[in-house]
Structure 1
Amino acid sequence: MCKGCPLKAKAITEELCGHAFSAATVSAATVRLDEALKAFFEQPLKESYPYLILDARYERAREAGVIASQAVLVAIGVDWEGRRQVLGVELANRESHSSWREFMAGLKLRGLAGVEFVVSDDHPGLRAAIQEVLPEAVWQRCYVHFLRNALDYVRRKVDDDCLMELRWFYDRRDFAEVKRDLAQWIAKWQAKYPRLVTWVEDNIEASRRR
């Protein structure tokens, strides 16, 4: 059945489906999938999403016959009931002010409105684009990214309690509790991890804006 089909297509479909498909079949299915995704990500946004999560990851992608690392920009809306919906996914050569600005402008053209709160990492280009396209929204630094960034300020081996206590700050709902616990955390770890403590003091406020 697969005589003449590329070995890679045959191997992948056998592994995933338990059955081999020809390269032409795989290509046709890919075209249909691309069309379905294009229609999904171009549909009007009729619902209100007061919360918007923006993130990016890098993946290997083929463009003009060349495979290279590209940024995948992602927008997730959260409605008043807490339900999440992927609103947009777009490839960009890299994360930049212009790529994020164009991505968010496209969402607004599709009807995105009423955004009150945006969560993202601290990428300068992304923050500038948020301020430009969604100036009315409050920005908060993603706490997951905050914790990942914190690892840059400690040695490879770090006390588990130090990071665990830092994670717990995210669960605090009362600002007075955060201030009290942060002061205790600083006093406990200042001598052992001075660079980390200084960085946390300078950056945690943006991750706690609710």
Structure 2
Amino acid sequence: MTEHLGYEKHDAAGRGSGNSRNGTRSKTVLTEIGPVEIEVPRDVDSSFDPQIVKKRQRRLTGIDEIVLSLTAKGLTTGEISAHFQDIYGASVSKDTISRITDKVVGEMTEWQNRPLDRVYPVIFIDAVHVKVRDGQVTNRPMYVAIGVTVNGERDILGIWAGEGGEGAKFWLSVLTEIKNRGVADVCIVVCDGLKGLPEAINTVWELAVVQTCIIHLIRNTFRFASRKYWDAMARDLKPVYTAPSESAARERFAEFTQTWGQQYPAIIKMWDNAWSEFVPFLDYDVEIRRVICSTNAIESVNARYRRAVRARGHFPTEQAALKCLYLATRALDPTGKGKARWAMRWKPALNAFAITFEGRITPNGN
């Protein structure tokens, strides 16, 4: 209406303009959630043409998808209700919004239990921590596994709700479930340095190489250091994880220790403790290294999850948290599977995997 009239509500510029606001009129439209009454703005000379709900339009579609999209972005039921009031002048109750989001529970369960490929060159495992209000607000880990298929696609394998802090025992149950869904072999599992996790991984996939996530190592390095040193530290660490061999990496890390060890001894200790799970990375072809260090494909997922979790602050139930993260996953890809190409140079990487892990990689992953 403001654009149509050329001036804001109550603006003196509208005096004598020949046209002005003339309140609203009620209108009932049919939606997927039933009849909804909205308030349509009017002007004095009836020249205003509504853009969101057109004149004589009696059916409004896409309400469900709007609700699901806003939920995926982390909006609460109250905020979504207010959004509809602002945009449509319509009141959509919190209960109605909850019923819409509850419709995806069956879809989410089907997605969570779908069969998976027989082999994955790489699986990344991580946890997103959310606040759940269950009597009292507690931090709960939501476990996420992301696979790279033999076709070079990102495949989000599932999301699992844990209890208390992140633990290797729960990861063992998650990885066992993934195996039971058809994953017979994984070449490399990339994870953080959680105690007991390498043993849990090799219990499920005996031949899997356990690789400490380089991204986690660098991120944890920054947690111990002042922000003003992050860029310098990143530059000094790059020669370590891009070294051609373990001995060369040791030399570069000795230089890093000489520069930063006295000021930040905890960083040096952290890298020393993680070294045995870090060094397998150094034996790989550069193409395999690129796949493991591909931050974009991982961070695009993590960033989507973090935005949704931050926007909500906390969730009323575990199910609400799972729904939000599932809808965020669904929004990554129109097919609802969360798939995307991992890297543009996939064929060289596939060749490197096939040679390094001879006999374990098949062209179609089955």
When normalised by structure 2's length, the TM-score is 0.49
- Where does structure 1 lack aligned partners over 5 or more consecutive residues? 3-7
Largest Rg, 1 or 2: 2
Contact 2:184 2:205 in 1 (8 A): no
Deviations 1:1-28 (A, max 9, x none): 58xxxxx734334338945522232122
Once residues 18 and 62 of structure 1 are traced to their aligned partners in structure 2, the CA distance between those partners, rounded to angstroms, is 30
- What letter is aligned with 1:129? A
* TM-fit CA distance, 1:181: 2.7
Paired residue for 1:105? Answer: 176
Contact 2:187 2:209 in 1 (8 A): yes
Is structure 2 residue 127 aligned with structure 1 residue 78? no
Contact 2:81 2:94 in 1 (8 A): no
- What letter is aligned with 1:120? C
> Of residues 70, 77, 92 in structure 2, which corresponds to 1:9?
77
Is structure 2 residue 152 aligned with structure 1 residue 88? no
Report sequence identity in percent.
26
Contact 2:222 2:230 in 1 (8 A): no
Paired residue for 1:185? Answer: 256
Paired residue for 1:41? Answer: 112
Contact 1:10 1:21 in 2 (8 A): no
Q: 1:72 to 1:199 in 2, by over 3 A?
A: closer
* TM-fit CA distance, 1:72: 0.2
Once residues 44 and 52 of structure 1 are traced to their aligned partners in structure 2, the CA distance between those partners, rounded to angstroms, is 16
Paired residue for 1:165? Answer: 236
Q: Secondary structure at the match of 2:156?
A: strand
Once residues 69 and 154 of structure 1 are traced to their aligned partners in structure 2, the CA distance between those partners, rounded to angstroms, is 25
* TM-fit CA distance, 1:42: 0.6
Deviations 1:46-92 (A, max 9, x none): 353121111012102355x6653211001111123432110010101
Paired residue for 2:139? Answer: 69
Q: 1:25 to 1:155 in 2, by over 3 A?
A: closer
If asked which structure has higher relative contact order (CA below 8 Å, sep 6+), I would say 2
**Greater CA deviation, 192-201 or 141-150?**
192-201
Once residues 157 and 46 of structure 1 are traced to their aligned partners in structure 2, the CA distance between those partners, rounded to angstroms, is 44
**Greater CA deviation, 69-78 or 195-204?**
195-204
Aligned residues: 205
Once residues 131 and 222 of structure 2 are traced to their aligned partners in structure 1, the CA distance between those partners, rounded to angstroms, is 26
Once residues 123 and 12 of structure 1 are traced to their aligned partners in structure 2, the CA distance between those partners, rounded to angstroms, is 38
Q: Secondary structure at the match of 2:170?
A: helix
- Where does structure 2 lack aligned partners over 5 or more consecutive residues? 1-35, 38-75, 282-366
**Structure 1 runs, 4 residues or longer, greater than 6 Å off:** none
When normalised by structure 1's length, the TM-score is 0.79
Q: Secondary structure at the match of 1:80?
A: coil
**Greater CA deviation, 184-193 or 142-151?**
184-193
CA RMSD, aligned part only? 3.1
